[in-house]
């Protein structure tokens, strides 16, 4: 959805967004705040229903406001200034309104992939050797484009364009290492400003996942953002602040959301201090999102 919003901004094509609207008899809207070039932007868009379910400039309204981010600002103080600007939706054509963001760098979205360059292969080799100690090395194949070979004691596995010649030779956790190395190497070189790591550690030991998440957080560049999802409760034991901390004048804001089958809970609604234990709150089901184990008993 986030990627689609940025594509909507870039291409000015409403179909990119309206295809997500499930009930076209109701008003739909989205709002998103984001940072670019030391400015905080807010885009607010409303899609009014039409008789023929076709969206045009007449029933699409977009409003964009921005404010400079000053030295002593935090998100809340900057967002408060945006709140004062959100008086009413702009009546001009939404395509014209989106022109305010024509300078936005659209290649900064999570388009990281598996590339057989030197930096990626270095990260990949260390990653795979953590996941599988039997791996000896990872080397580029000069004769093939975007290809490399994983060497083990008794076999070698060739990968080209992200596809393995024989993926049955590697465990699920080791194969996940390809994606893990991809996002880690992207973060290390600051390739993008937005990263989305969704359940990449399902087959990996808890201690290894904690180590890689700590590495990704530490390597995030200024004005970068990481979305990270996991089912591993041990992550909640990491000494991450619930609120904001500062590192080299760069704000780091950690927000944790607990998802149940039907809702998402922002933990800062319940926990106000960084000293509050997120793990204890989950273990005691403070957010009312514990799975219904009684259904298992009914079996």
Per-residue confidence (pLDDT) for residue 209, from 0 to 100:
94
pLDDT, position 261: 60
Enumerate the β-bridge partners of residue 156.
151
Name every residue whose Cβ is closer than 8 Å to that of residue 284 and which is 6 or more positions away in sequence. Answer: none
Question: What is the pLDDT at residue 109?
Answer: 47
For the chain, which residues score pLDDT lower than 70?
A: 87-91, 102-116, 162, 166-168, 241-263
List beta partners, residue 198. 229
Query: Quick one: which of 30, 57, 58 has its CA closest to 45?
Result: 30
d(CA 198, CA 111): 14
Residue 265 tokens read as 């809970």
pLDDT of residue 129: 92
Say what the pLDDT of residue 26 is: 93
**What is the chain's length?**
299
Residue 108 has a pLDDT of 45
So what's the pLDDT on residue 212? Answer: 95
State residue 246's pLDDT score.
39
pLDDT digits (tens, 9 = 90+) for 146-195: 788 889 888 888 887 767 776 667 778 888 888 898 889 888 888 877 88
Residue 177: what pLDDT?
87
Helix pair angle (172-189, 206-219), 10° resolution: 10
Write down the pLDDT at residue 107: 45
What global pTM score does this model have? 0.73
- What does the pLDDT read at residue 89? 59
pLDDT, residue 104, reads 61
Instruction: Quote the strand ranges of the chain, DSSP E.
Output: 28-36, 39-47, 60-68, 135-140, 147-152, 156-160, 163-164, 194-198, 225-229, 244-247, 250-253, 257-259, 264-266
């Amino acid at each position: 959805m986030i990627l689609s919003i940025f594509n909507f901004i870039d291409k000015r094509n409403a179909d990119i967004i309206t295809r997500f609207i499930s009930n076209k008899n109701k008003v739909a809207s989205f709002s998103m705040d984001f940072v670019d070039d030391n400015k905080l932007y807010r885009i607010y868009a409303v899609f009014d229903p039409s008789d023929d379910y076709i969206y045009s400039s007449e029933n699409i309204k977009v409003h964009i406001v921005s404010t400079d981010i000053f030295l002593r600002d935090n998100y809340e103080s900057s967002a408060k200034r945006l709140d004062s600007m959100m008086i009413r939706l702009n009546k001009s054509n939404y395509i014209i309104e989106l022109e305010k963001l024509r300078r936005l760098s659209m290649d900064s979205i999570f388009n990281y992939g598996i590339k057989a360059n030197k930096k990626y292969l270095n990260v990949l080799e260390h990653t795979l050797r953590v996941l599988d100690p039997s791996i000896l090395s990872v080397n580029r194949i000069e004769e093939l484009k975007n290809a490399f070979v994983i060497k083990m004691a008794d076999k070698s596995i060739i990968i080209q364009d992200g596809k393995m010649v024989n993926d049955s030779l590697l465990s699920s956790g080791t194969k996940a290492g390809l994606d893990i190395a991809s996002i880690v190497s992207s973060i290390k070189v600051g390739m993008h400003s937005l990263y989305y790591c969704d359940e990449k550690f399902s087959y990996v030991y808890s201690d290894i996942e904690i180590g890689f998440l700590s590495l990704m957080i530490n390597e995030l560049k200024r004005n970068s953002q990481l979305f990270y999802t996991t089912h591993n409760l041990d992550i909640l034991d990491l000494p991450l602040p619930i609120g904001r901390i500062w590192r080299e004048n760069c704000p780091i804001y950690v927000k944790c959301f607990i998802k149940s089958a039907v809702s998402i809970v922002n933990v800062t609604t319940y926990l106000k201090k960084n000293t509050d234990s997120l793990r204890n709150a989950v273990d005691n089901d403070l957010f009312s999102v514990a799975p219904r184990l009684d259904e298992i008993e009914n079996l």
